[in-house]
Structures are given as structure tokens and as C-alpha cells.
Chains A and B, each alone.
Chain A
Amino acid sequence: MKVIEQLKKDLFRLGETETAGQVLFFRLFEFFIAYFVIWFAWFWGVYIPNLGEVLLPLGIANYVDISFLFSDIMGIGNAILITLFVIAGYLRMNKFAYLIAMVLFHFHYAARFSQGEISHGSNMVGAALFSLAIAQIAFSDSAERRKFAVGVLIFFIGLGYVTAAFSKLIGTGPAWADGSHLWLWIGERSTDMLSQHGHFELNLLQQYIVQYHWLATIILIFGLLVELFGWLFWFRKTRPYAATLLISMHIGILLSMNINFPKYVYIMIILGYSWHKFFDYLLEKYEQKQPVQFLLERYSPETSS
């Protein structure tokens, strides 16, 4: 029970009065999420017209024929709508704006990844938008909205890594960490790179991995353990350590398998460390509280006192 109480406290910062640094941190975090959502919306929006057939219905596509989205007008049109609703949400013009952006974003994802690939590169950004949407609707106090949105996202980040580790242990068992498996995946990824770019060469780490089986095994054991302990991201004391290990794991995945999840790393950097303390320190040191508070009041109209 003590652990559950601690978890509640650490996820939602219960009983804490927010500092100016925490409010500033949240608005910056929200800004990054809004930017990432708009980035995906346009990146996918211009790509979707290339597609012509739904091979794998994902999410809502199981129930709705989303092939109507495969046109220039719909792809770009949906990107415009997502952009407008995200901006409206950020400026607090309507409390349902983020939710509408979320639904449109889901359709956009289902259209973009209708060709059989299940991409996870945007999941964390989507989960962040979902958390912001629910917080806007469920709470009227702005401080509570901020605490809830961040808490829910942190919970699902930690949970996602743990389920990833269990998927591996259930799908293969402890033998998952056999270095030969990494060789097989490097072969797969080198084919993908060759196909995408027309050329491919193993980098230095990959050369060592294919040469030394023990190194490949150690890398896989590290990855599995880091994911298994992803729940440490939930607790404030262990969060920076968990974030550092998870970021290291993502860098390792990039170097060994050329799989890049940059938005995951950015969000981990944003949420994994106590940036608000740094902001509070700067605000105090340079006595710039007034202009910053003016900005917060101007652009975050619901900022609680």
C-alpha cells in the first residue's frame, strides 16, 4: 500500500504547490508535444496520397473504410485540421480542441500505416496528446490539469516499456537475449537500409557485434533488463536514472539496428529530469519573474494562482 501511495504522489505531485518553474516547464512540454503532433500531421499528410489500398486495418480502420483519406485533399486537409485544433488547444480556446485533434490524429495514423507496417514511432506523442485532451476535459483547475496530464503520460511510458519486455519473455523466453538473434535483426535492417537508400555499410558497432557473439548477447540483455525495469520511470527518485538508461537503450537500438525513435528520446529528456528546478533557479537568479509571469498569464489564461 505504501508503494501505491508513493506512486500516486509521484505521478500526480499530490500536495505540492506549483512553482513558476513548474508552470513554465509544463507550457514548454506542451509546446513540444503540439509541435511534434503538427510535425507528424504534415509528414504523414503529404505521404498518404501515395497510398492506394488498406492492407492492414489499424484502430478505427477496423470499423471504418479509411481509404477515403487517400487523396491529396484529405491528407493535407486532415493535417490542416489537426494543426488548427492543436493550436486551439494550446491557446485554450476550447477544452475539447485537443480531443478533436486526437481523434483526427488517430484517423491520420490509421491511413498512414494501412500498408501493413505497425509503427510505434509516434505512440508517445499520441499518448501525450491523449493525456492533454483528457486533462482538459476532466479537470477545471489548471494546476490539476497539468499534474494529471504529465502523470498519466509518465504512467503509460513506464507501462509501455514493461509490456515490451514481457512481450519478449512471453514470445521467446529468456533465450530472447541470445546474440544470434541480434545478428538476424541486423541482417533484416541492413536489407531495409539497402532498400531505402540504395546502399548500406555496417557501422563500427555493428561490425563488432557480428564479430563477437558475446557482445551481441550483452547488448540484448541490457535492453531487456532496462525495459523490464521501465516502471522505475514512475517514481520521482528513480525517474532520472530510468530515463538515462532508456535513452541509452534507444541510442543503442539506433546504432545497432538503425531504428530511430527520436520523439521518444526527446520526451524522455523532457520528462525524465527536474527541469522545473532549473527554471526556478534561473527565474530567481536573474529576478525575471515578472516578465515570465506576464507571459504565463497572457498565454496560459487558466494559470491558477
Chain B
Amino acid sequence: MHKSSKFGKRAIKLLITIFVSVAFLLSTHLGEFWPFSIYPMFSQAGKEWERSLVRDVSDVPDQKIWETVHSVGNLQGTSFAMNEVNINQNDVANFSQKAGRWNERKIRGMRHLFRTELNRRDLLLMKVTGSLTKEKDTVIIDYTPFMLMKSDTTIFNPEMEISR
């Protein structure tokens, strides 16, 4: 058999084998088995999103900390950039969103991300949600305080029901 045709047959057989294996892995792992993926990001358009934002509230009076606001300009405290602690903001947003039950281990995990800062200032983790109006002509964004991290304690928003 010609060398090239032998290679062609072997290559295509191997490609099909890889393809079937990858399809199996993806179908049994919700479309993700790195480095393969069905790339479903942004596939569900129009869905409300939830992210996070951290504020330095060291100088904010306790009674004002837990207020939900609807614009960046009305946020309490001063801005805190994740770059300051070399943390990717996606990790914080996903952690706060997907933690489920906030047991001691998860609280420690979240505090661990900000461990270098908590002796110096009080940080407020906020949940930020965005959605479209019914008419789909405006994006509404709400900033809800979620978790206050102080040097020696962690306090959750008393007005939220949090599974612990």
C-alpha cells in the first residue's frame, strides 16, 4: 500500500477514535473536559446574571453597611480592586455564587483569598445582579451586601437567608 494512503487511513481512524472519546467525555461531564469543550459560554442569552464586588467599608457606620443600592455612585465605602490582592475576580464571583452552604470551611476559603488585607481593613463582599426589563430596553443592576469580613469575624447580611 502507498505510504501516504496508509498514513491517511491511520490518521483518520485515530481522529475518529479521539473524536468519539472526546464526545463521550463531554457528554458525561456537562460539556467540559479540559482541554475539550462544547464552548457553551453566553449560550443562554437574556438570563439574569450574578457577579460580585468588594468594597472597603472600614469607615462606614454599621447601620449603613447592609443597604442595597442600584447604582455604582451610591455604593458605600471605597473601591477595592482584586488586583490589589492578585486575585482573579471570576474566582470571587463564582465562589460567592456557587458556594451553596456557607460552612466554616467555605468561609475560611473566602477569607483566605483576602488574608493579606483583613488585618488592615474591613471588606464587604457584595452580590451584584443584572437583568433586562420586560421591554428589554434597560439593564437593571442591583448591589446587595452579602458578607462582611473583619480581622476577627465574618458577618452575613442579616436580611438575607443564608444556608449555613
Q: Could you tell me which A residues sit within 8 Å of B by CB distance?
A: 8-9, 11-12, 14-15, 47, 50-53, 55-56, 58-59, 62, 106, 109-110, 113, 115-120, 122-127, 129-130, 134, 138-139, 141, 144, 147-148, 151-152, 155-156, 160-161, 163-164, 166-168, 170-172, 175-176, 178, 180-181, 183-188, 191-192, 194-199
Contacts and interface: CB of A to CB of B under 8 A. Distances in A.
Given A52-B108, A59-B29, A147-B7, A130 B40 contact: no
Contacts of B141: 187, 191
Interface of B: 4-5, 7-8, 10-12, 14-15, 18-19, 22, 29, 31-46, 49, 51-54, 72, 79-84, 86-95, 97-99, 105-106, 108-109, 112-113, 128, 130-132, 136-137, 139, 141
A118 B109 contact: no
Given A14-B4, A184-B132, A199 B79 contact: yes
A178 B41 CA distance: 16
Q: Is the interface of A mostly helix, strand, loop or mixed?
A: helix
A14 B3 CA distance: 10
B7 A170 contact: no
Contact of A192 (B51, B54, B83, B131): B51
A116 B98 contact: yes
Given A171-B40, A184-B130, A195 B99 contact: no
A201 B112 CA distance: 30
Given A47-B86, A167-B31, A198-B84, 13 more contacts: A8-B8, A12-B7, A12-B12, A51-B109, A109-B35, A116-B95, A118-B41, A122-B34, A125-B35, A166-B38, A187-B49, A194-B72, A198-B83
A210 to B, nearest CB: 9
A198 B45 contact: no
23 contacts: A8-B12, A50-B87, A51-B112, A55-B99, A59-B29, A59-B33, A115-B91, A116-B97, A117-B90, A117-B94, A119-B90, A123-B34, A124-B35, A125-B35, A148-B11, A155-B19, A166-B38, A168-B42, A180-B136, A186-B139, A187-B49, A191-B128, A198-B81
A55 B98 contact: yes
Contacts of B36: 123, 127, 156
A126 B22 CA distance: 13
Contact of A188 (B98, B105, B108, B130): B130
Consensus secondary structure, chain B interface: mixed
A139 B88 CA distance: 41
Given A51-B91, A53-B109, A117-B91, A126 B44 contact: no
B112 A52 contact: yes
Contacts of A56: 94, 98
Contacts of B79: 194, 198-199
B53 A195 contact: yes
- Please indicate which of the listed interface residues B88, B106, B128 has the most CB atoms of chain A within 10 Å of its own CB: B88
B54 A195 contact: yes
B120 to A, nearest CB: 16
A122 to B, nearest CB: 7
Nearest to B49: A188
Contacts of B18: 134, 152
Contact of A110 (B34, B95, B98, B137): B34
B72 A116 contact: no
A50 B97 contact: no
B14 A115 contact: no
Q: Which 8 A-B pairs have the closest CB atoms?
A: A126-B35, A116-B94, A198-B81, A171-B43, A53-B109, A164-B39, A181-B45, A167-B43
B41 A120 contact: yes
B40 A55 contact: no
Given A58-B34, A178-B45, A191-B130, A196 B97 contact: no
